Amino acid sequence: MPSDTRPLRPRAEHVVAPLEETPLHAVDAVDTTAAPRSMWAEASRSLVRNPVFLVSALLILLVLFVAAFPQLLASQDPTYGNLQQANQGPSAEHPFGTSKQGYDVLARTVYGTRASVTVGFFAMLLSTLVGSAFGALAGYLGGVLDAILSRITDIFFAIPLILGAIVIGNRFGSMNVWIVALILGVFGWTNIARIMRGAVISVKNQDFVTASTALGASRASILLRHVVPNAIAPVIVTATVNLGVFIVAEATLTFLGVGLPPSAVSWGGDISSAQSSLRTHPMMLFYPSMALAITVLSFIMLGDAVRDALDPKARKR
């Protein structure tokens, strides 16, 4: 029997990685007896570590403080105009100068925060309630009701927000904060409805919904206690962004002359009044425009941060 003359290959050395270079010690350190965190708890932990959220939250708190206590930042009356002091530059009495009507620009900018934030908040609240109700019922019940509610949503979705607000606003003799918020809320709920409908359709087929049905829970109880709380996350993100959108919409309507009346103190009205003085006194336009831009940017940044916290997959994409 011939002998095997093939050369022997050297045996590979078995190497074991040091324990500190492996992630096993981190896995072993996890407390398996602790209760699992909910989605909202995990989102809260992510938010407090997100600098975008912290910056936007501080800016929004500042805006809300200014809207609630404008008298602490501006001592002048925003509705008092002295033509003898018109178009003056910054001074100790008027830090931002005066407008062509003799108004104190600082007082107008500070007091204008209240009207814009109030319109934006209540328009957002109304649109969120209406859109969530339409979307939840359409997505959960389905069938003919889904088709009817979806077609109603499509009809309102086809009407541009600003155009619809202009048409309806012209029908009112006089506008105020509440009417503007109502009009914007009536035309601004469609995105919320579409997002809620899709989220409800995705959640209603989950195992916990099937288990609740098997235990004899009513459809209304399942919808309100199980489906809606688990489908509300994308709606919160959209509502946060919509608040900034509604603030811009109110300023646009007031700028066009169909929003708040000239007697009201608002950023849109001041921007409209200052446009004729853009070349000679540009700072009159700068201050209300910058206040509007910072406020809207804060809510958009907050919406992005909340979206990343509630949907980690979006952060990876």
Average pLDDT along the chain:
83
- Percent with pLDDT over 70 in the chain: 85
Residue 135: phi and psi, rounded to 5, are -65, -40
Residues in the chain: 317
Cβ count within 10 A of residue 142: 14
pLDDT of residue 7 exceeding 80: no
Residue ranges covered by each domain of the chain: 45-71+97-312
Predicted confidence at residue 297, as pLDDT, reads: 92
pLDDT of residue 49 exceeding 70: yes
Q: Say which amino acid occupies 250.
A: E
CATH topology of domain 45-71+97-312: MetI-like fold (1.10.3720)
Beta bridge partners of residue 104, listed in sequence order: 98
| 133-174 confidence digits (pLDDT tens) | 999 999 998 889 999 999 999 999 998 998 889 888 888 767
Average pLDDT score over residue span 293-317:
79
| 206-249 confidence digits (pLDDT tens) | 888 888 888 888 888 888 888 888 888 889 989 998 999 999 99
Average pLDDT score over residue span 125-130:
94
pTM, rounded to two decimals: 0.81
| 74-126 confidence digits (pLDDT tens) | 888 888 888 888 788 888 888 888 888 888 889 999 999 999 999 999 999 99
Predicted confidence at residue 273, as pLDDT, reads: 85
